[in-house]
Amino acid sequence: MALLVDANIAVSVDQLVDRVWAENPPARVRDSLYGYLSRLRRVFAALPDVALDRRSAGYVLSVDPARVDLLRFRSLARRARAVTEERALSLFDEALDQWQGDALADLTSPWLDELRERLHQERLGAELDRNDLALRHGQHARLLPELLTSAAEHPFDERIIGQLILALYQSGRRADALACYERARRLLADELGTDPSPGLQALHQQMMAAGAIGPVAGPAPAAPPPVTALPIPRQLPAAPPLFVGRSRELAEISSTVDQAGAQGRMAITVIGGSGGIGKTWLALRWAHDHLSRFPDGQLYLNLRGFDPVGRPTATGAALNAMLAALGVPPGMAPAETDAQAALFRSLVSNRRMLVLLDNAQDADQVRPLLPGSPHCTVIITSRQQMPGLVTTEGARHLAVDLLSPDEARHLLAVRIGEERAAANGDALAAIVTAAAGLPLALAVVAARAGMSPAVTLRALADDLAADRDRLNVFAGNDQVSDVRAVFSWSYRTLSPPAARMFRLLGLPTGPDIATAAAASLAGIPLPEARGLLDELARAHLVTMTSRDRFTMHDLLRAYADELVGDAEARAALSRMFDHYLHTAHAAALVIEPHREALNLAPAAPGVVPEGLAAAGQARRWLTTERPVLLAAIDHAFRAGCDGHAWRLAWTLTTFLSRGSHWSELATAQQVALDAATRAGDLLGQAHAHRDRALARNQLGHRTDAVPDLKRAAALFGELGDLPGQAHTLLTLGWICERHGQQQDALRYDQQALAMFQTAGHEVGQAKALNAVGWDHAQLGDHEQAIHYCEQALELHDRLGNATGAARAWDSLGYAHSRLGQHQQALASFQRALGIYRDAGDHYTEAETLTHVGDTYRALGDHGAAEEAWRQALERYGDGNPTETDEVLARLQQLLSVGMSR
């Protein structure tokens, strides 16, 4: 039973334990549970179409729903509420026929007792829905015996009392109907101290006004004057015209309603999103598509939580409006808000209704308006998230995002005509991009194109492409259709600190921003920034893309940018660039501790760089922030912050090189060079030339790389920076060696070694010793290579330079392999590989894997050679075509040899 009641749904182990043993589990409860489940599996194995499976979320009892009476009942009841009244009556009767006495009558436990009561309420709800339909179709005679019994069992249920009164009255028993009302009135007054509900009172007044029923003529009583139940409100606004897309969201609303119905609880969906995103249209589209689910009516209220004029609708006014729609005469509603809410819940109890609360301000405005009945469905739209409703009321939050490019194009095409859209494909694509997928913006542009055929789509696209006054193109004729005005309604509800944060986020901060960077942008402590971003997220003015990261779409960014002042913007951008520079500089030195540090000025007040103590933490930060940092380099240059621009580019060189992001490195260093040149900063120019040369060489532009390096060496020499000059010569040597100029490479590397020795720069000496050793190995002098590389390894070990030591191990392995000392070579390579993998240095790891494959081939182990080379190809990725071609040639040769044998 613990599984069957949730057939075809995963039930967790904890749920099963609670259902079976409650507060008295055995000592080894999980062992006992698994034993029972094992025996159940054996039993079910003999049954067709029944299976007990373990899933990540728990255990699932898979069974055809038609074979379980409870599931048949629920399915039939759901179908009854979604079809015409004539068909619904027979479906309700069929559903109720599934019951054979009380549910679970011979079983007892806390969970079973609760389940039994819940199932009883489901059954009663289906009976009452069936009774309403039957009474509307004149089937009062067959209902009377059952209603008399139900009224005796539920003397305080005014819906049952009302049905009994109607059945008596429609049977010609007016006096009995009036007596039934009077008994109910006295019971409510004596036991509860309340009057009958307005609906029951209205029923009584109609019977009194109808007068006496004449004598019985013949075998049947004369038909009584008509008496109606509560009115059925149909308040939904018209369905949205030309609605496109949102199939996933529509399906999610349906799923929420279906799941809640199956579990016997009220369905609440909170549709959230920014202004102009299409929340109301989505709600109305779903509502109109599912009107048959709500035979007792639909209530609609615009709560004006984000209204261009006026204030949000007061709770009392909202409740009075709904009570009036339900037939409560003016002046009969209670004066107190709590009493109004209680009356509203009473009137809709057990009624199959939709309540659509549009444009809600917050959860406090909504809570008193919730029906409380499991038969009702509530849809709320708001620019605010409502986590309180999710937590306490079991609501489902549905975030509405921007339209996809295909959906946006379809929306425009539907509005302006497919023929015109097809003839202007490029312009249409540009408009879609500029509108950022915001339905309101697309609708405004489509309306403008439709009303002004002389204005071409190309002209509209060109207007949208201009950064200046971009939002003017999306200005509508009124407050509701003007994108800028719609955004302003949300902006005005923010607290002053959150409004300031919103303005600053309109600055060019990159594709998204972390909480720590936003704190520095605003110059405030991290906890305060986190609270403000949460406020903006609840207002759907920013979107949380992942844990602790936020973004906003381009039109919101453009609106925010309009609001920020020049002085405020300059100070904020300076803080943000400081944040990224100081954090990225620290990260660069963590992943390569022996790299020469830059001499940075102190960060501006209010900037709190992130602490990155471990190499793994630094690499993760750099990986996450990579697109942001690349954008920040360009933004810093555009903002005239040249020092920030070239220094930020410097911080990324090691990280981008290890990941083979050569195009990104080349672009970043070009901006760095432009910035340093504009600022007349020779040191920045020298670094940019050297690092750009590294990227250019890997991109196949050696003829551009060598002049860059010679210019860098000259600039470092002009500055008297001997280590900088020597590092540049090492890069020159590396490029010469890569292109087969081993003697030139040896000369440059020996010059670098001498410069490092003169400067007393031990880290540089160790690197140069290894480079000279590698050059000797390339020239065939392997003993001399081992001599230099062992010196390099000893010095790197003493200095604690792990990545430098890895390069020395690789060089030693190469020299040993050329001497035929293959096992010693493999041991050296493995030492290098372990360090590279720990450092996340994929490029150099691939180089060593290539050497490993060469060594295995020399040993005749072709399988191991092939595996090593395939791993090398994986590490090189797509960013190193020259290296991958060399490895592929090795593999092809190896495979051709194997096939020829």
What is residue 35's predicted lDDT score, i.e. its pLDDT?
67
Distance (Å, whole) CA 115 – CA 128: 20
Q: What is the mean pLDDT of residues 786-795?
A: 94
CATH topology of domain 138-210: 1.25.40
- In this prediction, residue 227 carries a pLDDT of 41
Instruction: Pick 4-65's CATH classification: 3.40.50.150, 1.10.1330.10, 3.40.920.10, 1.10.10.10.
Output: 1.10.10.10
Residue 413: pLDDT band (50, 70, 90) is confident
Confidence of residue 332 (pLDDT cuts 50, 70, 90): low
Banded model confidence at residue 220, pLDDT cuts 50, 70, 90: very low
Residues sharing a CB contact under 8 Å with residue 476, sequence separation 6 or more, in sequence order = 444, 447, 482, 483, 485
Output the pLDDT for position 786.
Answer: 94
> pLDDT tens digit string along 816-851?
999 999 999 999 999 999 998 888 888 899 999 999
pLDDT of residue 213: 34
- Would the pLDDT of 617 be above 80? yes
Highest mean pLDDT among 74-88, 446-460, 637-651, 730-744: 637-651
372-381, 544-553, 705-714: which is most confident: 705-714
Cβ neighbours of residue 326 closer than 8 Å, sequence gap 6 or more: 198, 199, 230, 231, 233, 299, 344, 347, 348
Name the nearest CA neighbour of 337 among 320, 352, 321: 320
The pLDDT of residue 687 is 97
Higher pLDDT, 45 or 898: 45
Average pLDDT over residues 464-485: 57
What is the pLDDT at residue 106? 62
Confidence at 226, pLDDT banded by 50, 70, 90: very low
DSSP state, residue 215: P
Residue 223 confidence (pLDDT): 39
Confidence bin at 200 (pLDDT 50/70/90): confident
Identify the residue with better confidence: 297 or 430: 297
Cα Rg of the chain, angstroms: 38
**Predicted pLDDT at 4:** 63
Query: Which residue is listed with tokens 């101290």?
Result: 193
Does 297 or 65 have the greater pLDDT score?
297
The pLDDT value given to residue 214: 30
Instruction: Check if the beta carbon of residue 35 is closer than 8 Å to that of residue 91.
Output: no
Q: Judge whether residue 184 has pLDDT over 80.
A: yes
**Does the pLDDT at position 323 exceed 80?**
yes
Q: What pLDDT is stored for residue 216 in this prediction?
A: 27
Say how many CA atoms lie within 13 Å of 603 toward its Cβ.
23
The predicted pLDDT at position 486 comes to 66
Which residues of the chain does CATH 1.10.10.10 include? Answer: 4-65, 494-564
pLDDT mean over 261-271? 88
Tell me, what's the pLDDT at 94?
Answer: 84
The region of weakest confidence among 267-271, 399-403, 498-502, 790-794 is: 399-403
Mean pLDDT computed over every residue of the chain: 82
Cross-strand bridge partners of residue 550: 513, 544
Nearest to 348 by CA among 327, 376, 369: 376
Structure tokens at 551: 């973004």
pLDDT tens profile 662-721: 999 999 999 999 999 999 999 999 999 999 999 999 888 888 999 999 999 999 999 999
Q: Has this prediction a pTM greater than 0.85?
A: no
DSSP designation for 301: E
CATH architecture of 247-399: 3-Layer(aba) Sandwich (3.40)
Q: What is the pLDDT of residues 503-517, one digit of tens each?
A: 999 898 888 899 999
Angstrom distance (rounded) from CA 187 to CA 291: 37
pLDDT greater than 80 at residue 117: no
Which is higher by pLDDT, 12 or 901?
A: 12
pLDDT above 70 covers a percentage of the chain that reads 83
Q: What is the rounded average pLDDT of the residues 261-266?
A: 85
Instruction: Specify the pLDDT at position 509.
Output: 83
Q: Kindly compute the dihedral angle of the four CA atoms of residues 216, 217, 218, 220, in this order, to the nearest 10 degrees.
A: -50
Residue 194, amino acid: T
**Residue 215 — very low, low, confident or very high, per pLDDT cuts 50/70/90?**
very low
Q: Which runs of consecutive H residues, i.e. helices, occur in 97-196?
A: 110-136, 140-153, 158-170, 174-187
DSSP code per residue over 819-852: TT-HHHHHHHHHHHHHHHHHHT-HHHHHHHHHHH
Q: What is the mean pLDDT of residues 139-157?
A: 82
- % pLDDT > 90, the chain: 35
pLDDT at position 3: 64
Average pLDDT on 46-57 reads 68
pLDDT at residue 642 greater than cutoff 70: yes
- The CATH 3.40.50.300 portion of the chain extends over 247-399
CB 494 within 8 A of CB 534: no
Nearest one of 197, 202, 208, 117 to 159, comparing CA atoms: 197
Class of domain 494-564: mainly alpha
- Report which of residues 248 and 478 the model is more confident about: 248
Q: How many Cβ atoms are within 10 Å of 116's Cβ, its own excluded?
A: 17
What's residue 205's pLDDT?
78
Task: Say yes or no to pLDDT of 464 above 50.
Answer: yes
